[in-house]
Amino acid sequence: MSSSEDDEEEVRVPLSQRQEWSDVEPIPQDDGPDPVVSIAYTDEFRETMDYFRAVFAADERSTRALELTAEVIDLNAGNYTVWHFRRLILESLQSDLQEEIKFIELVANKATYKNYQIWHHRRWVAEKLGTIATTSELQFTQKVLCLDAKNYHAWSHRQWALQALGGWENELEYCRELLEVDIFNNSAWNQRYFVITKSPFLGGLQAMRDSEVSFCTNAITKNPDNESPWRYLRGLYKGNNEAFVNDPAISKVCICVLEKNRNCVFALSLLLDLLCYGFQPTPDLNRILSTWGFSGSDQKYANFVCLILEKVDPMRARYWIWRRDSLPSHIC
């Protein structure tokens, strides 16, 4: 703790000794006559909450009440009731919400970026501010994601901000930058898919498919054991299995990966999907499967791929057995 913080603690005056609170009768917490487990609150926390209960009971929406909520939040940033009451006061006082944004950032820096109440309150403020908050919200989430690339609250807030406030123009490039830093960042892959399917400027999934397939297969070729681009690639054909089967880039990347690593579960799994949706086997596929002893004379391709997956993916062997048993009779 810095010396300045020490000084602040030393000079803090209890609420009971502040002139502006002399007219308020604090309301102690009622734990009943014989509480099973008494919580050892600090004197500061107990007093602050006693005064807050009094203000809350009186529904006092004043400047001092707003300042008191800040003191309570400083002691416990997860108190839903305090945040809720703070919003009521902010509305009643018609407070400067740009200043409230600064307050939220101070609280988040001191508490945690995984506090749901902070994010909920920030969304409320941003909604009130409207599009003038677009830049601040995207910058704030970017700051948090630099510290924690998988922070669910930050990603959720960012997606909400894009849809409610705008700012789509540079989002695909932002996703690319994140994946350049960490190609295994599944949250960035998820955000990229969100952008190409939700952005009002990109034309939708079909319009973006060719360029995204190229981006995705390039990532797969460099890191075949990274599950995220394999999932992303499959998602690019959601609801259009005919396009999935007929795109030569899909079978090509499977064969390319399997030629170097015939045990790649992700390539085999995607190959199985292709076969189940009517992909016609090629000489390259026959050559790959022949290394596993596939003859093609009395065996079905999809069935054989399931047998391979049972061996190379023993943790999910029962799943692949189920897939094999569920194959329609007409599947090659």
Pseudo-torsion of CA 122, 124, 130, 134, nearest 10°?
20
Biggest alpha carbon–alpha carbon distance for the chain:
94
CB 73 within 8 A of CB 80: no
CB 272 within 8 A of CB 301: no
Residue identified by tokens 């307050």 is: 103
List the catalytic residues: 114
- Contact by Cβ (8 Å): 169, 209: no
The SS3 call for residue 169 is helix
Nearest CA-CA partner of 117 in 142, 85, 158, 95: 85
Tokens of 291: 């290394």
CB 153 within 8 A of CB 113: yes
- Decide: residue 28, CB within 10 A, 0-12 exposed, 13-18 middle, 19+ buried: exposed
